[in-house]
Amino acid sequence: RVHGEMELDKDTIDKLIDESFIAKTFAYKPYSNFGVGAALLTADGTIVRCCNVESVVFAPSSCAERTAVCVAVSQGHRRIRAVAVCGDSKPGVLTPPCGICRQVLFEFADTTPSGQRDMLVIMSRSDRSYVIEKLSTLLPYAFDSSYVERFTNDEK
């Protein structure tokens, strides 16, 4: 059991980490030389893995986590239970999702038994050791649909 009501067994954690490392080998990183791999675990148990894809103009580049979310959504998945992320970091250094990826991940976070939207984020080091945090810890003030609803209702 990990992080209270959110749980993953060790085999699933190891599988997600392995899949993220496999995905990283496909990273298109000619400009930064920093590959990132991500593996998502959807609510139905499907694993979706992707890598980062760079562009010479950095703005249209796509992080591994956002790429994986897009692939998962295009396959019909709308809820994600966990994500494992690894990168070409220096030894001993974790690779966490960037701020934009955290927000995109939150959009598709699964609903916990207590009714909160959240997921587990497994951040790996190059030696495959890892730290697990809840997304809500990494993104404590997530922007959700309630902000848009309030704005839309205020306009009426």
Confidence of residue 2 (pLDDT cuts 50, 70, 90): low
- What b/e readout covers 125-143, taking b as 16+ CB neighbours within 10 angstroms? bbeeebebebbbebbeebe
pLDDT per residue as tens digits for the range 24-65: 999 999 999 999 999 999 999 999 999 999 999 878 899 999
Compute CA 84 distance to the chain's CA centroid, rounded to the nearest angstrom: 6
Rounded Cα–Cα distance for residues 62 and 112 (Å):
28
Tens of pLDDT, residue by residue over 76-109, are: 999 999 999 999 999 999 999 999 999 999 999 9
Kindly state the tokens that stand for 37.
């791999």
Q: Residue 48 belongs to what H/E stretch?
A: strand 47-51
- Per-residue pLDDT of 116-140, as tens digits, reads 999 999 999 999 999 999 999 999 9
For residue 5, count CB atoms less than 10 angstroms from its CB and return exposed for 0-12, middle for 13-18, buried for 19 or more: exposed
Predicted TM-score of the model (pTM): 0.90
> 69 is written with which tokens?
């979310």
Active site residues: 65
